């Protein structure tokens, strides 16, 4: 299989291109618009939109900041997104002692 963005040969079951880092195959974007728990700066709204639309989070933050500075209108949708967008579910890990436990 080839990466559609950089043209390099990648594994057939790859989800992300090892050369350019772009998602390939069927998993182009997240299934739900959520605010991630990791990597967010204020509330995770920009990161959530960036992951949903599969674009760079810095670009989304820059566009949002310019919109807020130039018109002031960008602040209201950010607050609405903060309220409306659900947080990403917690990923709980298994207890350390429970991994190798078997019944005799």
Instruction: Give the pTM.
Output: 0.58
In the chain the first and final C-alpha atoms are separated, in Å, by 47
Distances in Å between the Cα of 59 and the Cα atoms of 32, 48, 54, 90 are 20, 13, 11, 27
pLDDT per residue as tens, the chain (104 positions):
777 778 788 777 777 787 887 777 654 444 678 888 887 788 888 888 888 888 888 998 999 899 989 888 888 888 888 898 888 777 767 666 655 555 55
Two structure tokens written together for 74: 């960008």
């Amino acid at each position: 299989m080839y990466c559609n963005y950089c043209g390099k040969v990648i594994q057939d079951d790859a989800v992300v291109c090892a050369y350019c880092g772009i998602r390939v195959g069927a998993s182009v974007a997240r299934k739900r618009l959520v605010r991630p728990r990791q990597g967010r700066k204020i509330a995770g709204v920009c990161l959530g939109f960036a992951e949903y639309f599969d674009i760079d989070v810095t670009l989304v933050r820059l566009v949002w900041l310019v919109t807020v500075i130039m018109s002031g209108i960008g602040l209201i949708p950010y607050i609405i997104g903060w309220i409306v967008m659900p947080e990403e579910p917690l990923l709980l890990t298994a207890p350390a002692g429970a991994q190798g436990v078997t019944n005799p």
